[in-house]
Structure 1
Amino acid sequence: MGRQQGGSRYVGLLFSAPFPRRIGRMFGVKNILIVEDQADVLKLLGVALQHPERKIRQSLSADQAWLLVQEEAPDVILLDIMMPGELDGLDLLQRLRADQRFDNVRVVVISARAQQRDRIAAIHAGADAFIAKPFRLNELKRCIDRLLTIKPSEV
């Protein structure tokens, strides 16, 4: 593993993309997936949530998000309900909750559809939180921070 070079031994480590989740957890890196069909909102959220201890991934559709989740399960998903494509946000949420591999993934639904029945539908589908659009960025950040500190056994 190590190699002689100039009289000293060194060990080189090389990680290929995507960054292995278990290694990320060891160093405290949290994986957040933002699923939003409006490109400007997606970009804004991506920039606003940047942090050295966070890996931000983005998706413009629930279909693409499902593929990303299977590739590497995030710690938290920010999920819009109204999405183009075969899957909408609630469909994706139901798929996540039906698959035991993603039991520890926390989901924050962010939606302009904020009537009581929409909130209830999201919670029944398995959302951990619901934030109505428009929202304050600080509110969203607090919600994410809270979900990132909850142990799966506490949910």
Structure 2
Amino acid sequence: MDVPNKKTVLVIEDEIVLRDLIVKKLEEIGLGTLVADSAQEGEKLIKEKHPNLVLLDIMLPGGMNGFDLLERLKRDPILKSTPVIILTNLSTEDKTATEIGAIDYIIKSNISLDEVALKVKNHLQ
């Protein structure tokens, strides 16, 4: 939900159940949310809505993965300052994520929704 005067987080995640749980938790702590289930849809929303932060899954359908989108964002003079936190199932992707320009990464299997919300909130301050 896009709410004026609230900080907004775009959640780009194709696992619907996980995405909905993250969105619910972020809204519980007072954040506005946008959702996308592909990198292409996420890129469009970033350009149109300018979210304050992006939670970006790596493995996405449609031919463009999360790393591809992150690289595109970091090359765009207007969008490169958009903070991105990578969502992943693989701990080996953390170095790649930060090298490309992510501000943080979350290993989905090792973190609770409360910890996701806290990480997001801390990066928005």
Aligned pair count reads 123
Q: Report what 2:115 is aligned to.
A: 139
Runs of 4+ deviating beyond 3 Å: none
2:51 corresponds, among 65, 69, 74, to: 74
Identity %: 28
Query: 1:76 touches 1:105 (CA, 8 Å); kept in 2?
Result: yes
Secondary structure of the structure 2 residue equivalent to 1:74: coil
Instruction: Identify unmatched segments of 5+ residues in structure 1.
Output: 1-17, 150-155
State the TM-score, normalized to the length of structure 1.
0.74
2:15 corresponds to 1:35: no
CA apart distance, 1:86: 2.3
Specify whether residues 122 and 52 from structure 1 end up closer, same or farther in structure 2 by C-alpha distance, changes over 3 A only. Answer: closer
CA apart distance, 1:53: 4.0
- Structure having greater relative contact order (Cα 8 Å, sep ≥ 6): 2
Instruction: Identify unmatched segments of 5+ residues in structure 2.
Output: none
Equivalent-residue separation in structure 1 for 2:108 and 2:43 (angstroms): 23
Q: Report what 1:91 is aligned to.
A: 68
The structure having more radius of gyration, on CA atoms, is 1
State the TM-score, normalized to the length of structure 2.
0.90
Please show how residues 3-152 of structure 1 align to structure 2 within 5 Å.
24=4, 27=5, 29-51=6-28, 53-115=30-92, 118-134=93-109, 135-149=111-125
Secondary structure of the structure 2 residue equivalent to 1:87: coil
Question: Higher helix fraction: Structure 1 or Structure 2?
Answer: 2
RMSD value, Cα: 1.6
